[in-house]
Structure 1
Amino acid sequence: MDAQSIKVACSNCNLRELCLPMGLNSAEMSKLDDVISTRRRVKRGAALFSTGERFTSLYAVRSGFFKTCVTTADGRDQVTGFQMTGEIIGLDGIVSDHHSCDAIALEDAEVCVMPFDQVEELSREFTTLQHHVHKIMSREIVRDHSVMLLLGSMRADERLAAFLLNLVQRLHARGFSQSELILRMTREEIGSYLGMKLETVSRTFSKFVEDGIIDVKQRYVHIKSTEGLKEIVNSQNCR
């Protein structure tokens, strides 16, 4: 990991609307700039933090893509989430002051370091910031519930369709295409996240291609029919 510290100002960042609350005045923004003043670069395949490491900061993804994973009792890596530009990583460490998962960069990435004790102190001072921190935590809980629903009640094709729809929706919120995406994660990592075998992931991708719903060239995916994916996901409501 590159330990280089780079001065950064949230007030001038084009990701501000994604990872920080709107409505802070210039004095409040200036205080926040003082707290979130460094960035860290993380090379592809390197860990931003690891299980058991002492929790000190939250991290806003400035560029790049991450996966979070835990090691199961039998030694396997279980992917628990994928995080992209504008999202916050590290909330897992709040409960016990130590991280409960690994955060691994899926490509060269850069994060803004948010020392949690200082963010917490500021959030008591600015109700807008406090509300935003609560919203971030709530979003993680909702995402966990969505994953449990995926794993608990959906067929393989429904899981993959829901995953692709969620991914493209999050990317679109960041100014990317609504129908094209580059998968930063492997088929195996997708399978780990969705509770599917690698063969099942590959077979389901192939079925979507055959049905004319998507085109796939290695990691490039073109969604030809968003409605087709939505129909697959919604089909569970018709059973």
Structure 2
Amino acid sequence: MNTLKLAETWADSRNDVVPHSRPGYAKLFFSIQDIGELLRLDGPQKQEMSEQGPQFHPRRVKAGELIYRLGQPFESLYVVRFGFLKIVLRNSEGDERVLSFPMKGNLLGLDGLFCNRYGTEAVALTDCELIIIPFKQILAMGHSCRELEQMIYLATSREIMEEHAGISLSGPLKSEARVAGFLEELAKRYAALGYSSQEMSLPMTRRDIGCYLGLTLETVSRTLSALAEAGAISVRRKDIQILKPELLHLFQSFRSLPQQKIRLSQPLFFCSTTVQ
């Protein structure tokens, strides 16, 4: 049995721990109300929906597949129904910086609006299902569907806030503070979906976490071990248990010395694609 199947089997028995497991049912299309529920925003009530209301189709992808590529013409926004992804920015050498880890309820593809081309890549870390929202369909509806318009605005604002939280973790912080902050933010996102905030299965690799936090793979591994030795967490491969949330939070006060602070003029940390 491969790792994915093991994860799915484990998810079925521990449904309070893994929010990226596949739901037990499939749908052929989704309404605006479905999207509102998924985004965890107030959408129209069922009685307000007409039978001719817009319908949106799902797209299923396998782990490792691209949802869209850097420079690809912008056509659609996507809402994650299940699964876990990473949003990647690449430099001219092809090295990558992970910008975020979208999960259930996140909105993707917003970076394609300005230049009509996607400015990043979205890669599935697990099997995923996304709801496709064609941008031409949004334009064609104009202001006739204010509910969808409002939901996209609110979801966009939330995506910006989550991205700002991620940027703050790669600032002038020691590795313990960055990794502790990452785990705490991820726990909050799990809790917001109704899952356990103290037991998590990480679908991303240590290298992905390092590319997100501006750390090397080795530093991420050493830091997780240090947090475990301190009694803040327990680590079993990709399974993390937060044993002492207050102690984990305390680690976030670990800051670098002033002369080590990262200046805005310095380039972003990119992970070489030649290093596994």
* Cross-structure match for 1:230: 249
Show structure 1 runs of 5+ residues with no match: none
Contact 1:10 1:32 in 2 (8 A): no
What TM-score do you get using the length of structure 1 for normalisation?
0.87
Residue 8 (structure 1) aligned with residue 44 (structure 2): no
Q: Which amino acid aligns with 2:29?
A: V
* Cross-structure match for 1:70: 89
Following superposition, the deviation at residue 92 of structure 1 comes to 1.1
Q: Which amino acid aligns with 1:42?
A: V
User: Matched residue of 1:124: which SS?
Assistant: coil
Contact 2:107 2:159 in 1 (8 A): no
CA distance in 1 between partners of 2:202 and 2:109 (Å): 23
Distance 1:7 1:18, change over 3 A: closer
CA distance in 1 between partners of 2:69 and 2:50 (Å): 31
Q: 2:102 aligns with which of 83, 95, 98?
A: 83
Q: Deviations over 1:143-185 (max 9, x none)?
A: 2322332222222111111111111111111121110010000
After TM superposition, list the pairs within 5 Å mapping 1:49-64 onto structure 2.
Answer: 49-64=68-83
Residue 194 (structure 1) aligned with residue 216 (structure 2): no
User: Matched residue of 1:107: which SS?
Assistant: coil
CA distance in 2 between partners of 1:167 and 1:122 (Å): 35
* Cross-structure match for 1:19: 39
Contact 1:214 1:221 in 2 (8 A): yes
Q: Which amino acid aligns with 2:70?
A: T
Q: Deviations over 1:100-132 (max 9, x none)?
A: 111111011111111123234546234443332
Following superposition, the deviation at residue 18 of structure 1 comes to 3.5
Contact 2:232 2:245 in 1 (8 A): yes
Distance 1:172 1:20, change over 3 A: closer
Residue 93 (structure 1) aligned with residue 132 (structure 2): no
After TM superposition, list the pairs within 5 Å mapping 1:83-232 onto structure 2.
Answer: 83-122=102-141, 124-232=143-251
Q: Greater CA deviation, 131-140 or 179-188?
A: 131-140
Q: Greater CA deviation, 202-211 or 77-86?
A: 77-86
Distance 1:121 1:163, change over 3 A: farther
What TM-score do you get using the length of structure 2 for normalisation?
0.76
Q: Which amino acid aligns with 2:54?
A: D
Q: Greater CA deviation, 90-99 or 135-144?
A: 135-144
* Matched residues, number: 231
What RMSD in Å do the two structures reach over aligned CA positions?
A: 2.4
Q: Which amino acid aligns with 2:73?
A: R
CA distance in 1 between partners of 2:199 and 2:169 (Å): 23
Distance 1:228 1:122, change over 3 A: farther
Q: Greater CA deviation, 225-234 or 140-149?
A: 140-149
Q: Greater CA deviation, 188-197 or 125-134?
A: 125-134
* Cross-structure match for 2:15: none
Distance 1:166 1:104, change over 3 A: same
CA distance in 2 between partners of 1:123 and 1:165 (Å): 40
Distance 1:123 1:233, change over 3 A: farther
Which has the larger strand fraction? 1
Distance 1:165 1:229, change over 3 A: same
